[in-house]
Amino acid sequence: MCGIIGRVGTDEAIDSLLTGLENLEYRGYDSAGVAIQNGAGIKVQKRSGKVDELKSALEDTTTLEGEVGIGHTRWSTHGPPTDENAHPHTDSTRDVAVVHNGIIENYGDLKGQLEAAGHEFTSDTDTEVIPHLMQRYLDAGFDSERAFRAAIDQLEGSYAVAAMVAGEHVLYAARQGSPLVVGLDDDGFFLASDVPAFLEYTDDVVYLEDGDVVVVEPDRITFTDATGDRIDRTPETVEWDPEQAGKGAYDHYMHKEIHEQPTALTQALEGRVNSERGEISLESVPAAAFEGVDRVQFIACGTSYHASLYGSIAMNRVGIPTSAHLANEYGTSAPPADDRTLVIAVTQSGETADTLSAMRHAREQGARLLTVTNVVGSTATRRADDVLLIRAGPEIGVAATKTFSSQAAMLVLLARRLASDFEGASSMSTTRETGGGREDLETLIDDLQGLPRAMQSILESDAAERLAEQYLDARSYFFIGRGLGYPVALEGALKFKEITYEHAEGFAAGELKHGPLALVTSETPVVAVFTGDADGKVCNNAEEAQTRGAPLIAVCPANHRATEIADAHLEIPAIHPALAGLLANVQLQLLSYQAAAKLGRPIDKPRNLAKSVTVE
Ligand code: M6R
């Protein structure tokens, strides 16, 4: 939700700012802008639309010479995506320029006070109060750092903010509730919402904490807390490389990331499953780590919620009482939690405001907190007691793909790992269907190791592309499944509508007949996901739709009985039932991607969306 970038160094800032904005565009693409500081004051260029439009406006970047600058790519919250509402925002005298990610909840009051004192505003944004507040304090004789601190002291809400004052080789930045990371290279420093912004330049980073304020000069950076006391922040080296964060030979990040799944899973599983010993070990969840806990609650949003539903079914199947909750509903309708509850926050970015807020709620109830995330150093990792990294590598496409697979696979592992901490859990059924017992664990471990190869075989098939073409004119698409097939159906529908802009819905297969069947016609293909959970009943439900004219697409192994009735087939290799949904999901990802590509949609940047949703 909005990307910010800042540069202070001994080299020209504009190129690295524009690169940073392009790399951050997944966080929002309603408008983009930069402000550069040199001897002649602060120069600002900003445009509604994507970073490319800003670049076209900057025909000659030499007009923006200077070694200190800030940039912003916006996902609108307050005010439409116009040139005026684009960041950076300045005060009336253009002595102060500011970029901001987050929401200033008391901006209405602040704006009223400033207007009453004669300040004139030029945008509808909440952000514009910040440069005006700084101007007020500068006019009162404060030095720039004090003016910055005094301004942010007035703010309620969430922010990552970077500011500069004309005539200074300095950036001021602060973080409260929205992510901000510092990059250190030989020529200076970067500030950014996320590491990929500057990964081409450096992989040495410092993640800021809430309350941190930094003063950045070309040769030094000072970290302080909100009261101005110095604090230590130790740089760490991130393991992502710029090539991983780029598009490579693919037309879209989404396509690249779908194809990266075998590698992402191999990384996720490395050192965590041992087929010789038949063991699962998770470095951050040692044996007995959660002894005493008697139930699990998942909290997450969107795709991560679907992975959580998958995980909750896997947990219940090994005897761990588990429920999955939309994080944005958790504060109002959560079941009771206490110190015997393990709350697992599943979040790719680790920055989703709804999920962070639900974590806070869980903490207030006294629950233990574990986060399953992709981003080292993210806010969720700092709020949780324990962290399980999915190690999927950077995911840039707004549509989550490889991270769903890695999350769901990790949750299947976690279920098996936690079972031994839960009294009575591991002694549950040993049948293949219910997913417990020693023999079944060995099969699961073997199949986990074969999972990347099985996925690769799907990626090499063009069946999804052909089907996407065949059903491109459909009016609506329904996805159905039971058991572990249900979250996969939900995820399939989310992905389809998100990037094709066509209507798609996911249902528990048994629910079709309780209402949605009324919508089924020959123009509504039904995609049925078969994972080995009550497949016979899924067949019945699929046939009920087919009888009413719906074309039936079965996602299942070859020779499955569903292939005898289906109009079309997306094949998945036979595998342990706990993993079949992950393979089916890859076919659904490809179906969505191919349909969106044929419809000419902006696949990596679907309208109105952003990768990281840092507002509630
Ligand atoms: O970063 P998170 O996993 O917390 O994000 C949650 C959702 O916003 C996210 O999964 C979203 O639904 C997907 N990008 C959709 O493809």
CA of 3 to the centre of ligand 1 (A): 16
Predicted confidence (pLDDT) per residue in 217-230, tens digit: 999 999 999 999 99
Which CATH superfamily, name and number, covers 253-457? Glucose-6-phosphate isomerase like protein; domain 1 (3.40.50.10490)
pLDDT at 276 over 50: yes
User: Across all residues in the chain, what is the average pLDDT?
Assistant: 92
Residue 364: pLDDT band (50, 70, 90) is: very high
Residue of 26, 298, 304, 593 best suited for mutating to test ligand 1, as the one with most atoms within 8 Å of CB: 304
pLDDT at 436: 52
Residue of 309, 352, 604 best suited for mutating to test ligand 1, as the one with most atoms within 8 Å of CB: 352
Residue 437: pLDDT band (50, 70, 90) is: low
Phi, psi of 132 (to 5 degrees): -70, -40
Predicted TM-score (pTM) of the model is 0.80
pLDDT at 425: 63
CA of 501 to the centre of ligand 1 (A): 17
Domain boundaries 3-238, CATH class:
alpha beta
End-to-end CA distance of the chain: 11
Q: Higher-confidence residue: 243 or 206?
A: 206
CA of 29 to the centre of ligand 1 (A): 17
Q: Are 340 and 296 in contact (CB under 8 A)?
A: no
Q: Which helix (H) or strand (E) holds 37?
A: strand 31-38
pLDDT at 431: 34
pLDDT at 63 over 90: no
Pull the structure tokens for residue 360: 């806070």
pLDDT at 614: 82
Pull the structure tokens for residue 38: 């040199």
Could you please report the per-residue DSSP string of 502-561?
A: S-EEEEEGGGGGGTGGGG--TTS-EEEE-SSSSHHHHHHHHHHHHHTT--EEEEE-TT-T
Which CATH architecture describes the domain 461-598?
3-Layer(aba) Sandwich (3.40)
Once rounded to an integer, what is the mean pLDDT over residues 455-468?
96
C-alpha dihedral, 318 to 321 to 322 to 323, nearest 10°? 140
CA of 493 to the centre of ligand 1 (A): 14
Once rounded to an integer, what is the mean pLDDT over residues 149-161?
94
Sheet holding 181-185, edge to edge: 41-48, 31-38, 68-74, 3-9, 188-192, 181-185, 204-207, 236-237
Predicted confidence (pLDDT) per residue in 128-147, tens digit: 999 999 999 999 999 999 99
Measured from the Cβ of residue 271, the count of other Cβ atoms closer than 10 Å reads 9
pLDDT at 428: 40
List the residue whose alpha carbon is closest to atom 16 of ligand 1: 399
Contacting residues for 372 by C-beta, under 8 A, at least 6 apart? 344, 345, 346, 347, 388, 390, 407, 410, 411, 414
Interatomic CA distance for residues 586 and 523, integer angstroms: 24
- Dihedral angle sign, alpha carbons of residues 610, 611, 615, 616: positive
Q: Which residues line ligand 1 (CB under 6 A)?
A: 301-304, 347-349, 352, 355, 398-400, 498, 612-613
Total length of the chain: 616
For residue 305, which atom of ligand 1 is closest to its CA? 10
pLDDT at 435 over 50: no
Catalytic residue among 402, 495, 605, 611: 611
Q: Which helix (H) or strand (E) holds 137?
A: helix 129-139
Contacting residues for 406 by C-beta, under 8 A, at least 6 apart? 261, 264, 265, 268, 374, 390, 391, 392
Catalytic residue among 2, 301, 539, 556: 2
pLDDT at 564 over 90: yes
Interatomic CA distance for residues 616 and 354, integer angstroms: 5
Residue 6: pLDDT band (50, 70, 90) is: very high
**Residue 611 among the catalytic residues:** yes
List the residue whose alpha carbon is closest to atom 7 of ligand 1: 302
Residue of 257, 371, 613, 616 best suited for mutating to test ligand 1, as the one with most atoms within 8 Å of CB: 613
Domain ranges of the chain: 3-238, 253-457, 461-598
CA of 536 to the centre of ligand 1 (A): 32
Q: Higher-confidence residue: 431 or 573?
A: 573
pLDDT at 596: 98
**Residue 2 among the catalytic residues:** yes
pLDDT at 52 over 80: yes
Interatomic CA distance for residues 147 and 140, integer angstroms: 9
For residue 613, which atom of ligand 1 is closest to its CA? 8
CA of 610 to the centre of ligand 1 (A): 9
pLDDT at 111 over 80: yes
Domains 253-457 and 461-598 share a fold: yes
pLDDT at 33: 96
